[in-house]
Amino acid sequence: MGIRLVDLFYSIQGEGRYAGKPAFFIRFPECNLFCGLEKPLKPGNYDQEYINNLKSVNAGWVCDTMAQWLSNGFEIDINDIVDYISRLSSGSYNIVFTGGEPLINRSNILKIIDAVNSKNLKPYIYEIETNGTMEPIEDDSISYNISLKLSGSGMKRSKRINSNIIRKFLLLKNTWWKFVISNRNDAMEAIEIMDEYGIKRDSVYFMPAAFSRDELVKNSVEVIEMCKEFGVNYSPRLQIFIYDKYVGV
Ligand SMILES: Nc1nc2[nH]cc(C(=O)O)c2c(=O)[nH]1
Ligand code: SF4
Ligand SMILES: [Mg+2]
């Protein structure tokens, strides 16, 4: 029996705690938020440029993977995912589940983890890239990269911040927090959330907003100054640094 993905590729983790580590990316369809847009779009094949042009007046930016996670994607047998991984690497790598919001597809994440473990492949760690609004899977072999959304996403606070869920993530062993920072207001808002929930600065990454290599270089200067000031970590976006505007890398 197959499962639906929108992308499967081997690259390096570009962001957060494991930036630089070889990693298999498994991208699922669907998200519970529509960052940057006034109202949800139906699943289908869209051009990302078209989506960017729908940006709501309340938002500072638009989700950069929306065209991917709204697409129909493809169906793949779990054994073929496992074969793909074992064919491409004999060394150490992570397996990253992303989206959209991958925790919508939690049962498929569990099936893939079971299949990988039963074939005796040993990823260094599984990572889940999440917006932190859905119930986590409790498993010490999973490391969470939680990117809570700020008001620049244009989403209502009640949709993007769920106190009970944040507290559950805080009880887990491998929890890292990643904020996309466009300006000083974003940093102040992130600090407020960190203080409210007792999120340790050690576990926090500020990452510049950027769609291209030029933007990344330019925006990193200011973000690094804020990292120094507030004592949080800087996260690169190595995939943009290396491959510029390409997706699926
Ligand atoms: N290389 C690479 N690293 C990533 N880290 C998080 C990604 C994501 O889109 O969730 C991503 C991605 O799409 N590519
Ligand atoms: S939560 Fe993440 S994947 Fe979902 S719309 Fe926002 S930026 Fe995109
Ligand atoms: Mg991304």
The answer on pLDDT for 9 being more than 90 is: yes
Check residue 2 and give its pLDDT.
Answer: 92
Whole-prediction pTM: 0.98
Residue 7 Cβ inside 6 Å of ligand 1? The answer reads: no
User: Which atom of ligand 2 is the closest one to the Cα of 153?
Assistant: 6
CA 234–ligand 3 middle distance (angstroms):
16
Pocket-testing residue among 21, 98, 244, ligand 1, by greatest number of atoms within 8 A of Cβ? 98
| CATH number for the domain whose boundaries are 2-243 | 3.20.20.70
Q: Which helix H or strand E contains 24, and what residues bound it?
A: strand 22-27
Considering every ligand atom, which ligand is closest to the CA of 11? 1
The model's confidence at residue 45, banded by pLDDT at 50, 70 and 90, is very high
Check residue 237 and give its pLDDT.
Answer: 97
> What is d(CA 174, CA 167) in angstroms, rounded to the nearest whole number?
14
The model's confidence at residue 47, banded by pLDDT at 50, 70 and 90, is very high
The model's confidence at residue 1, banded by pLDDT at 50, 70 and 90, is low
> What is d(CA 223, CA 230) in angstroms, rounded to the nearest whole number?
11
CA 95–ligand 1 middle distance (angstroms):
11
In this structure, are residues 171 and 135 in contact, taking their beta carbons and an 8 Å threshold? no
Residue 59 Cβ inside 6 Å of ligand 2? The answer reads: no
pLDDT per position as a tens digit, 77-126: 999 999 999 999 999 999 999 999 999 999 999 999 999 999 999 999 99
| 100 dihedral zone (left: phi>0; alpha: psi -120 to 50; beta) | left
DSSP state of 141: T
Residue 147 Cβ inside 6 Å of ligand 1? The answer reads: no
CA 40–ligand 2 middle distance (angstroms):
12
CA 31–ligand 2 middle distance (angstroms):
6
For residue 160, what are the CA distances in angstroms to 59, 134, 172, 184, 249? 13, 10, 20, 20, 27
SS3 144: strand
Binding residues for S-adenosyl-L-methionine: 100, 147-149
The answer on pLDDT for 56 being more than 70 is: yes
DSSP secondary structure string for all residues of 57-123: TT-S---TTHHHHTS--EEEEHHHHHHHHHHH-SS--EEEEESS-GGGGHHHHHHHHHHHHHTT---
CA 132–ligand 3 middle distance (angstroms):
15
**Would you kindly state where each structural domain of the chain is located, as residue ranges?**
2-243
In this structure, are residues 216 and 208 in contact, taking their beta carbons and an 8 Å threshold? yes
Token pair for residue 45? 């094949």
Residue 129 Cβ inside 6 Å of ligand 1? The answer reads: yes
pLDDT per position as a tens digit, 59-81: 999 999 999 999 999 999 999 99
